[in-house]
Amino acid sequence: MTENDFYKNFEVPEDLKFRVADITLMGGLNCSAKLSPKYFDNIFTPPNKITEVRVELEFWLAGKEITVRGRVWGKRNVRCDRCLKEVSQSFEEEFMESYSAQSEIIDIMLLVRQTLALTEDIQFLCSDDCKGLCSLCGKDLNEGPCQCQPEILSPFAALKGKFK
């Protein structure tokens, strides 16, 4: 089997644990895959959840190292931090990491999971201009103004109730 045939028949491992020997034999590798969401089940705090994941990977050899650059994208169900509504939205992240060419296995799943876990530290919003809930009556202000609205226009109105 020539290098070319090997490349053609190469299948991306479902768990993204790549054998360094395979990548070295092919002199690097470009590949993409759709991943089972089961690998991302416990990454976010419920109800936030990753529902669809795809990756695109590029491996190259340089001296004693193998570097991988990747893109991960897909869908997630998240609760908006401002209005608490649950929405499905797209995401996309990039990552890059180097490994010793002496390693036997490169665990890209770990890298992808770490990249996605970090995204939960950022606020999730249903849309960039989400108006959130009224802090007084709790109404979803995306659906229209509430009764308390005119009072909030004065900077002192919000304080008034607190000192009664």
| Between 26 and 87, CB nearer to Zn ion | 87
Q: How many whole angstroms from its chain centre is CA 15?
A: 17
Exactly one of 105, 110, 117, 137 binds Zn ion (CB under 5 A); that residue is 137
Alpha carbon distance 129, 138 (integer Å): 18
Q: How are strands ordered across the β-sheet holding 29-35?
A: 29-35, 49-62, 65-79, 86-100
Judged by CB under 5 A, the stretch of 14-22, 31-39, 53-61, 121-129 that binds Zn ion is 121-129
Note whether 82 binds Zn ion by CB under 5 A.
yes
Alpha carbon distance 24, 46 (integer Å): 40
Judged by CB under 5 A, the stretch of 30-38, 49-57, 80-88, 103-111 that binds Zn ion is 80-88
| Between 26 and 136, CB nearer to Zn ion | 136
Note whether 158 binds Zn ion by CB under 5 A.
no
